[in-house]
Homo-oligomer: A and B are copies of this chain.
Amino acid sequence: MKKTAILVVEDDKAILTGLCDLLGCEGYEVFSAEDGIKGLEAYRNNRPDLILLDIMMPGKSGYDVLREIRKTDTQLPVLLLTAKGQEIDKVVGLELGADDYIVKPFGIKELLARIKAALRRSRPADAGKKETHIRFDDVVIDLKNYTCEKKGKKIQLSQKEIQLIDYLCNHKDEVIDRNTLLEEIWGVRYEGTTRTLDQHIAQLRKKIEDDPAHPKHLVTVHAVGYKFTVSPD
């Protein structure tokens, strides 16, 4: 899946690199610019999914940048950054269509939450592309509802289970090695044992295989990993 891209426009280099590092660690693709002019340029070149925009910058202010952007793109989520005490001009912000504003200094969690919220609000527009169901045999997995149905019985799936089956189904008939799976689902920095993965595979098999001891779909590939397949071997 393509990463969500965020453009950070901020003249204070310390803050800029801090933000970029943080967002990078969170799994976003990050572009940065140190002033308004470069910000616009970066926006045009990279077409990010969201912009973090400092208001007070030498040269072109955040307001100017936002105004430019809104001439052609009224949908893009833009979060304004403003220093504490520096009264944000809410009227201007509103007029220009900022989606939210964040007062420095801000907590990391708050920032991330607001970014997520803004992104979530901007999604429903282009949502609907993504497959929400997986079907095979007599099984229907509803990715949105965290449920699966088998022989007419509804079974709840947990977060990890959904992520796992989702990933494997999107790589149908490919063997995925354990490290890749751990990385994709648990995250790059995960330091757990492979037992965890096996356990979840076992859980999934119990829920969706006719005979969990002889899985037809969630197949073990000895010494490598697992693969999902719909056709029997």
Instruction: Give me the interface of A with B, judged by CB distance under 8 Å.
Output: 12, 14-15, 17-18, 21-22, 25, 74, 90-101, 104-110, 113, 116-117, 120-122, 144-146, 154, 156, 158-159, 173-175, 179-180, 183, 188, 221-224, 227, 233
User: Copies of this chain, how many?
Assistant: 2
Q: Is the CB of A159 within 8 A of B222?
A: yes
20 example contacts (A-B, Cβ-Cβ < 8 A) are as follows: A14-B91, A14-B92, A15-B91, A18-B95, A22-B95, A22-B97, A94-B106, A99-B107, A99-B108, A100-B188, A109-B121, A116-B179, A120-B179, A121-B183, A145-B173, A146-B221, A156-B221, A156-B233, A158-B223, A159-B224
* Contact A180:B120 (CB < 8 A) given known A91-B14, A95-B14, A144-B174: yes
Shortest Cβ-Cβ A-B pairs, 4 listed: A18-B95, A90-B105, A97-B108, A99-B107
